[in-house]
Amino acid sequence: MDRQNEKALVGEAAATQFVKDGMTIGLGTGSTAYYVIKKMGEMIKAGMTLKGVATSKATEKLAIECGIQLIDINEVEELDLAIDGADEIDANFYATKGGGGALLREKIIANAAKTFIVVADGSKKVQSLGKFPLPIEVVPFGYKQTERAIRKFGCKTEIREKDGEIFVTDNGNYIVDCSFSSIQNPTQLQQDLNNIVGVVENGLFIDMVDVLISIKEHKEISVEY
């Protein structure tokens, strides 16, 4: 089974097992969240009433295509669920996110959800975080100063580019991708990074994930709490 099939299986399992009629759901970004949203579209066609809050402009477009009624995050006090992918997740359910550049909205929406579910293909579970470069969203003004300050935490950095231009997030900011060989103390690091002037948010999701839906040995879906 290839990765795409794994993403489809965990995404559809999340929607089928956790999404219930009348819920308001935080809709993640990326190729695994895609399958959650597609499945929710099918559930709506079959008669369910669901509302969604999108974590990115790309997800907004997909949700509209799938017939999901979108609402503004400011219209609700909390969300019933948020379901999203991750770049890495360890045994403590500490995750890194932001490979798709949507980490800020993803974190705001995960934080607003009563239950935050991560859907992960077989490549995402790790012993320790850090192999996948950690994305950090920074304001464009003085971004090279901010990047230098981030490097003091022992990583190599790159300003994310797309099509030869600096990548700009949905919030008008830049992303610094940070290669740590391994992140020893993710809890401390996320606090330290957010204390740097110019940093908007980092991609470490600590004590946020309630449920992990992953796939083992290419076939067996596991739901962990």
* Residues catalogued as catalytic: 106
DSSP secondary structure letters along 164-207: TEE---TTS-EEEEEE-S--S-HHHHHHHHHTSTTEEEESEE-S
User: Minimum CB separation from ligand 5RP for residue 215, in Å?
Assistant: 13
Q: Is residue 133 within the footprint of ligand 5RP (CB under 6 A)?
A: no
Q: Is residue 103 within the footprint of ligand 5RP (CB under 6 A)?
A: yes
39 is in an annotated binding site: no
Q: State the number of binding residues for ligand 5RP (CB under 6 A).
A: 17
Out of 8, 25, 28, 178, the residue judged to bind ligand 5RP by CB under 6 A: 28
Q: Is residue 29 within the footprint of ligand 5RP (CB under 6 A)?
A: yes
User: Minimum CB separation from ligand 5RP for residue 134, in Å?
Assistant: 11
Residue 127: which region, alpha, beta or left (left: phi > 0; alpha: psi -120 to 50)?
Answer: alpha
Please name which of 30, 85, 84, 107 lies closest in space to residue 62, comparing C-alpha atoms: 30
Cα separation of 180 and 131, whole Å? 7
Using CB under 6 A as the binding rule, the residues of this chain from 34 to 93 that contact ligand 5RP are 84-87
Mark the binding-site residues, compressed into ranges.
Answer: 29-32, 84-87, 97-100, 124
